[in-house]
Chain A
Amino acid sequence: EPEVTQTPSHQVTQMGQEVILRCVPISNHLYFYWYRQILGQKVEFLVSFYNNEISEKSEIFDDQFSVERPDGSNFTLKIRSTKLEDSAMYFCASSYRDSPLFGSGTRLTVV
């Protein structure tokens, strides 16, 4: 069964460093998403991507964040200068129309 793959599963980074979280969505899907979940809190929408551009983004998704689909298979989330409060589980998801399928997440720890 196809699945969304995220790497790495856990990343530790120093405050101020750049991180890139990687995702391989399901191949025939059209919509791509990033969500995050701070420990013990709700899953928050960050950004959606359709037709090679951002279709929606939340207020969390500020200038420190960017997304890319560089080669038609990968979908990346970059955080330019990480802050302590960026520590969270980051989920990638993809869908053909609705029912996004989620990856197992990348746990980002900023120290």
Chain B
Amino acid sequence: SQQGEEDPQALSIQEGENATMNCSYKTSINNLQWYRQNSGRGLVHLILIRSNEREKHSGRLRVTLDTSKKSSSLLITASRAADTASYFCATALMNRDDKIIFGKGTRLHILP
């Protein structure tokens, strides 16, 4: 698998439900970041979690990091139609702040 793989590739849920997306990676990281991309638009930085952190919150977002399993999850609570987007995890390799590698992303669709 590649450094940074999200699953599922696509997710459809009802508005108001929680959405969980996962990311797995291969090599040791300095930090892991989640980005959102609306269709055809730019990348919006959501949250960064460092390798010595286990959980982080930002509004309706909750990110966890398990370095022993080399995985992270992004939870969006009480989803809204505006959350419809692609979500990418991106990893910064250990001692390599000058490069982050993106996964293929999860396409999230919130159903009204």
Q: Which of A43, A95, A97 contacts B102 (CB 8 A)?
A: A43
Flag B90-112 by CB within 8 Å of A: 1 or 0 each. Answer: 10100011111111110000000
Neighbouring A residues of B48 by C-beta, 8 Å: 98-99
Interface assignment of A102: CB less than 8 Å from any CB of chain B: yes
Q: Which of B41, B100, B103 contacts A100 (CB 8 A)?
A: B100
Flag A81-96 by CB within 8 Å of B: 1 or 0 each. Answer: 0000000010101010
Count CB-based A-B contacts (< 8 Å): 58
Q: Which of A45, A91, A104 contacts B101 (CB 8 A)?
A: A45
Neighbouring A residues of B104 by C-beta, 8 Å: 41-42
Please determine whether A42 and B42 come into contact, CB atoms closer than 8 angstroms: no
Neighbouring B residues of A103 by C-beta, 8 Å: 42
Neighbouring A residues of B43 by C-beta, 8 Å: 43, 91, 93, 102, 105
Please determine whether A45 and B97 come into contact, CB atoms closer than 8 angstroms: no
Number of A residues, CB within 8 Å of B: 26
Interface size class of B (residues with CB under 8 A): 20 to 34
Interface assignment of B30: CB less than 8 Å from any CB of chain A: yes
Q: A55 — nearest CB in chain B belongs to which residue? A: B98
Residues 44-67 (chain B) with a chain A CB within 8 angstroms: 44-45, 48
Given A91-B42, A104-B42, A105-B42: A42 in contact with B105 (beta carbons within 8 A) = yes
Q: Which of B31, B41, B44, B103 contacts A42 (CB 8 A)?
A: B103
Interface assignment of B22: CB less than 8 Å from any CB of chain A: no
Q: Which of B31, B40, B45, B98 contacts A48 (CB 8 A)?
A: B98
Please determine whether B98 and A56 come into contact, CB atoms closer than 8 angstroms: yes
What's the minimum C-beta distance from B29 to chain A, rounded to whole angstroms? Answer: 11
Interface assignment of A101: CB less than 8 Å from any CB of chain B: yes
Give CA–CA (A31, B45) in the complex, Å.
Answer: 16
Closest 4 CB pairs of A and B: A104-B42, A43-B102, A102-B43, A48-B98
Question: Using a CB–CB distance below 8 Å, which chain B residues touch chain A?
Answer: 30-31, 33, 35, 40-45, 48, 88, 90, 92, 96-105
Question: Using a CB–CB distance below 8 Å, which chain A residues touch chain B?
Answer: 31, 33, 35, 41-45, 48, 50, 55-56, 89, 91, 93, 95, 97-105, 107
